[in-house]
């Protein structure tokens, strides 16, 4: 986690009580945010779903959701509240999730990212992700394309 002497920050698994705060982040970050029911289903019914949150001074400021199936995983969503961006919380969360997956024997991780979201693409590339293709008209709100990005966890050192 980022080192700031005035801040207590940590990462933990998401629970149902976090959904209100996660929804605020979701609405802040995305033009077509998920609804409460989607998060409830992910946390209670989807055996493949895993969600983590970043907590700063008792407040959920970011989250990451993924689906883990056998030895592959896919990020479903990841976001940090706008007022907490630029403090490495997103990077710390991604590194945490990647190390956790690696420890479970997951060998590859994928995600989609808007072609216009260059800050996120830069972070993902820093973490070892590589562009593998385009999903045309992927985003329903404006038909924007998405880059599909992959990282091989067993070949990638995420500690730097």
CA of residue 37 relative to chain centroid, distance: 19
Q: How far is CA 119 from CA 15, 63, 76, in A?
A: 28, 17, 18
Residues noted as catalytic: 112, 124
C-alpha atoms less than 13 angstroms from C-alpha of 149 in its C-beta half-sphere: 23
E strand or H helix at 151, and its extent? strand 146-152
Decide: 2 and 92 in contact? Cβ < 8 Å: yes
Among residues 95, 109, 90, which one has the least CA distance to residue 151?
Answer: 109
């Amino acid at each position: 986690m980022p080192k700031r002497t005035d801040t207590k920050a940590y990462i933990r698994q998401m629970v149902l009580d976090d959904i209100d705060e996660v929804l605020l982040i979701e609405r802040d970050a995305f033009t077509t945010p998920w609804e409460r029911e989607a998060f409830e289903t992910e946390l209670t019914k989807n055996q493949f779903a895993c969600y983590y949150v970043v907590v700063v001074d008792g407040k959920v400021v970011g989250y990451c959701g993924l689906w883990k199936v056998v030895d592959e995983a896919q990020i479903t969503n990841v976001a940090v509240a706008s007022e907490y961006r630029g403090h490495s919380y997103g990077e710390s969360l991604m590194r945490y999730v990647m190390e956790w997956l690696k420890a479970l024997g997951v060998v590859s991780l994928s995600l989609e990212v808007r072609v216009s979201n260059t800050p996120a693409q830069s972070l993902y590339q820093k973490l070892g992700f590589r562009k593998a293709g385009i999903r045309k008209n992927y985003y329903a709100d404006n038909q924007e394309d998405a880059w599909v990005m992959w990282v091989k966890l067993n070949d990638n050192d995420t500690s730097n």
